[in-house]
Amino acid sequence: MDKLLIKGGTQLRGELRASGAKNSAVLMLAASLLANEPVTIENVPHLRDITTMIELLGSLGVEVIVDEKMSLEIHANTIKTYTADYDLVRKMRASFLVLGPLLAHYGQAVVSLPGGCAIGPRPVDQHLKGLQALGAKIEMEEGYVNAKVDGRLQGAHFMFDFCTVGGTEQILMAATLAEGQTVLENCAREPEIIDLANCLNEMGADITGHGTDTITINGVESMHGCTHRVIPDRVESATYLIAAAATGGCVKVKEARPEHLEVVLNKLREAGAKVTISDDGIEVDMEGRRPKAVSIVTAPYPSFPTDLQAQMMVLNSIAEGTATVKETIFENRFMHVHEIIRMGANIRLEGNNTIAIVEGVEELKGAPVMANDLRASVSLVIAGLAAKGDTVVDRIYHIDRGYEQVEEKLRLLGADIERVQSR
């Protein structure tokens, strides 16, 4: 199992390019199941979650051709089975998103329930309710969702009980091939949903309102191929910008989209960073200063993203002053807290472990650490970079799920970081 060895204390300086968005790309691989022709997705990040999705498509009989620039050509018409096995779905929750496309295109799907997950129970009730509203017959059999429809799904009016990214994506994809009009209310508005809807429209779907809380889909009879380029990853981009601020450095992320990161950039400004937006990216310059504490509350887009909560917690742990960090999306997303405390942070948990009171300390000290979640793990890397001394981050396969070439990118910025294999 690989580990990252970090010698802390260097201010990150330099430029790097944002990778394609993981949470868009995995969805588009599922969406390609709706088409009768090959779909090409460009700017796909080279990540473990993408490999898992390619494996899942392969297990269905779908042919996926990958070129050296990570453009993926997906031939869904080679499909042989409509069953997505537990072994693949449990590795990555987003694999559950093949359910809607399989059902809409082929009238049947058997997909394993994703099961529990390190950051909370993450149920799929909204996915199932939405599909039932479109006329699907759903039965649960030994941990699998068995979904069927006679003929086509039927357009319907459906309101989500609460904002869900995956739920919105699932029903949006299914409704593209339904008969008649579907109106979805209380939808999530994340940039990845807009990217998915744009890709679906390029495949021949008729979707409007994506990016607002009401999406209208006029069902079409069939969908064709397209070539779509994935948007830059806003969470990856912001992770490097927060790392720059936490180490007192100056980093430019090329291709990062400021319009996707408004609240985050405002928080970095509040922390004392100079944020410069240019035609080709975003630069954060801390000018060698210690950050000021900034309180955050995570909430659905466009509010502060849960996927950047852990990284901001690290910044706050070495900031001047006291910050409150409140997590409202997931029940168990403070796994990094006890590890950062081991590095010398002063953090108190309240409100049934959903609120962290972070009193900034002058410095963190290197230590061996590990976490069981992608964003928690990368926050420990930022902590190691900002800390005095050596940090070893274990179980970094979580980071490889969502950060392309993390140590190469950080080395470009001057970090002293090395990947080693533990025995």
Interacting residues toward ligand EPU by CB under 6 A: 23, 26, 93-94, 120, 122-127, 164-167, 188, 305-307, 329-330, 374-375, 402
User: With respect to ligand EPU, which residue has the nearer C-beta, 102 or 399?
Assistant: 399
Contact between 399 and 377 under an 8 Å Cβ cutoff? The reply is: yes
Query: Rounded to the nearest whole angstrom, what is the least distance from the CB of residue 1 to ligand EPU in the complex?
Result: 20
User: With respect to ligand EPU, which residue has the nearer C-beta, 58 or 123?
Assistant: 123
**Active site amino acids:** 117
Q: At what angle do helices 48-59 and 22-31 cross, to 10 degrees?
A: 10
Query: Rounded to the nearest whole angstrom, what is the least distance from the CB of residue 280 to ligand EPU in the complex?
Result: 25
Residue 312 CA: distances (Å) to CA of 206, 239, 287, 327, 363: 39, 9, 18, 12, 15
Contact between 392 and 339 under an 8 Å Cβ cutoff? The reply is: no
At residue 120, the 3 state secondary structure works out as: strand
Residue of minimal CB distance from ligand EPU?
166
Query: Rounded to the nearest whole angstrom, what is the least distance from the CB of residue 130 to ligand EPU in the complex?
Result: 9
- Distance, in Å, from the CA atom of 289 to the CA atom of 248, rounded to the nearest integer, reads 5
Which one, of 420, 325, 303, lies nearest residue 379 by Cα? 325
User: With respect to ligand EPU, which residue has the nearer C-beta, 306 or 391?
Assistant: 306
- Distance, in Å, from the CA atom of 241 to the CA atom of 243, rounded to the nearest integer, reads 5
**CA Rg value for the chain:** 21
Contact between 93 and 164 under an 8 Å Cβ cutoff? The reply is: no
Residue 167 has phi, psi (to 5 degrees) of -60, -45
Query: Rounded to the nearest whole angstrom, what is the least distance from the CB of residue 414 to ligand EPU in the complex?
Result: 26
Token match 């409704």: residue? Answer: 175
User: With respect to ligand EPU, which residue has the nearer C-beta, 96 or 249?
Assistant: 96
User: With respect to ligand EPU, which residue has the nearer C-beta, 19 or 126?
Assistant: 126
Query: Rounded to the nearest whole angstrom, what is the least distance from the CB of residue 52 to ligand EPU in the complex?
Result: 11
